[in-house]
């Protein structure tokens, strides 16, 4: 027989080695559901990785660790390891259906099984695995070989996982489309609509928020619900007409002014925007005004000094005075509750700023403090800028037969004077600090 040429023998050898390499790589790419099926619950001998100046040694530990593999719907969803036989640690699959590792919710440690060995390690995209322990009933190799095998496994299986991830995305999208189709009001015949206060507070006043859900009964008897009632019907599928506040995303917010609340109650009407018949659900609730209210009429702060800037000066500007207001409080009864009707006006202009109703057991907080003065600018050459003066606190006048029972917390401090700017040259002067404003007063008539 004629002898085969040397170069052909070499080619065949290379092909054989490539085949073996591919076989090994394929084996290394088996996902964790396959790898864990080779193992059984029980106690595993433990090998600890010890580092000494960059060298890694593998030492056998005396105490085995109990390990359990949790299987659900044909896939291994969780690994439970009792570290040192005492501390229970749970690790969940990174990708159900085609897992590469199991991760912890409380640490950076992950777990992977390869060829009946359980690797307990941390992972970096740049440096690969940093193995802490290896759990195995058979002897382990040196650290470099074990790390190389684990790194190769993690890097190669990542590509295979992409198909599963894409499939999972498609499945989730299909589920989302089906869920949306089942729960939309579009194309549905509505029999009735029910509006539900999910957690109606006992105390409702200005700017209170109520969680409001909506149920739609269809002609076939099916009930669709908004998300805050445990359903999936989007809020954008229906329209609403409200009185006494605003309604958006399942929350009704009571108005900030009692003039916007006719008859001292909130009202909501809801209908599907796809329904020509306009089947409507209605809801109403009285208001007891049992909620503290807050108003801010403080003065503006002065601007800081700015050198070499058009329209500015090196001196800080003065803070403005807090607004002087008159609060007329009138006793009345609203929905069976003793209430003060409040009209707040600008004392100087007489302009009505707000109207409110407040239960006599609740408090109005009002801020009429003066604004702070601006700081003088800091100068490298020349005098520093002077600080601006603080504004004065406003005056609060209480009038009406409800002023005696009105609970009020006023803040009417004078604004703080601005700081004088510093100079960085001994040849010049620092700016002067501004004066603080005067405290305002409260007068009950």
pLDDT of residue 191: 95
Evaluate if residue 21 carries a pLDDT over 60: no
SS3 content of the chain, % helix, strand, coil (to 5): 20, 40, 45
For the residues 231-256, what does the mean pLDDT come to?
95
pLDDT of residue 5: 58
User: pTM to 2 decimals?
Assistant: 0.63
pLDDT of residue 26: 41
For the residues 285-312, what does the mean pLDDT come to?
93
Q: Tokens in use for 420?
A: 């004088």
pLDDT of residue 403: 93
How far apart are the C-alpha atoms of 32 and 99, rounded to whole Å? 5
Confidence of residue 4 (pLDDT cuts 50, 70, 90): low
335-374 tens-digit pLDDT? 999 999 999 999 999 999 999 999 999 999 999 999 999 9
Confidence of residue 208 (pLDDT cuts 50, 70, 90): very high
How far apart are the C-alpha atoms of 445 and 438, rounded to whole Å? 22
pLDDT of residue 115: 93
Evaluate if residue 159 carries a pLDDT over 90: no
E strand intervals along 151-264: 190-197, 209-218, 223-225, 238-243, 245-248, 251-254
Q: Average pLDDT over the chain, rounded to whole?
A: 90
Confidence of residue 24 (pLDDT cuts 50, 70, 90): very low
CB 323 within 8 A of CB 296: no
């Amino acid at each position: 027989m004629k002898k085969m040429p040397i170069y052909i023998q070499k080619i065949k050898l290379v092909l054989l080695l490539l085949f073996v390499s591919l076989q090994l790589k394929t084996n290394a790419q088996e996902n964790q559901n396959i790898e864990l099926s080779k193992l059984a619950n029980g106690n595993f001998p433990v090998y600890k990785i010890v580092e000494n100046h960059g060298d890694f040694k593998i030492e056998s530990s005396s105490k085995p660790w109990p390990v359990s593999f949790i299987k659900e719907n044909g896939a291994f969803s969780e690994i439970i390891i009792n570290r040192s036989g005492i501390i229970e640690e749970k690790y969940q699959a990174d990708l159900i259906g085609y897992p590469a590792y199991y991760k912890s919710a409380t640490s950076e440690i992950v777990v992977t099984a390869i060829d009946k060995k359980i690797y307990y390690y941390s992972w970096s995209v740049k440096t690969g695995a940093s193995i802490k322990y290896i759990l195995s009933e058979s002897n382990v190799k040196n650290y470099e070989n074990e790390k190389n095998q684990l790194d190769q496994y993690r890097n190669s299986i990542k590509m295979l996982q992409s198909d599963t991830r894409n499939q999972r995305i498609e499945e989730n999208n299909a589920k989302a489309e089906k869920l949306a189709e089942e729960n939309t009001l579009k194309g549905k015949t509505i029999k009735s609509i029910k509006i539900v206060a999910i957690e109606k507070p006992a105390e409702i006043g200005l700017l209170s928020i109520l969680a409001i859900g909506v149920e739609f009964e269809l002609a076939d008897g099916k009930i669709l619900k908004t998300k805050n009632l445990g359903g999936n019907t989007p809020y954008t599928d229906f329209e609403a007409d409200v009185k006494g506040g605003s309604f958006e995303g399942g929350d009704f917010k009571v108005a900030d002014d009692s003039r916007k609340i006719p008859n001292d109650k909130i009202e909501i009407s809801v209908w599907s925007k796809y329904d020509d018949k306009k089947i409507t659900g209605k809801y109403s609730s009285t208001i007891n005004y049992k909620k503290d209210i807050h108003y801010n009429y403080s003065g503006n702060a002065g601007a800081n000094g700015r050198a070499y800037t058009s329209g500015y000066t090196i001196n800080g500007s003065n803070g403005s005075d807090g607004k002087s207001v008159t609060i007329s409080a009138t006793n009345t009864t609203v929905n069976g509750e003793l209430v003060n009707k409040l009209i707040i006006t600008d004392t100087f202009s007489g302009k009505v700023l707000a109207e409110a109703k407040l239960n006599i057991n609740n408090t109005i907080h009002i801020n009429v403090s003066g604004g702070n003065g601006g700081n003088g600018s800091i100068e490298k050459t020349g005098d520093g800028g002077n600080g601006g003066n603080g504004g004065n606190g406003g005056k609060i006048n209480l009038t009406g037969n409800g002023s005696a029972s009105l609970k009020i917390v006023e803040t009417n401090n004078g604004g703080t004077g601005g700081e004088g700017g510093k100079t960085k040259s001994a040849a010049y002067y620092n700016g002067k600090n501004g004066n603080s404003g005067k405290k305002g007063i409260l007068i009950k008539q």
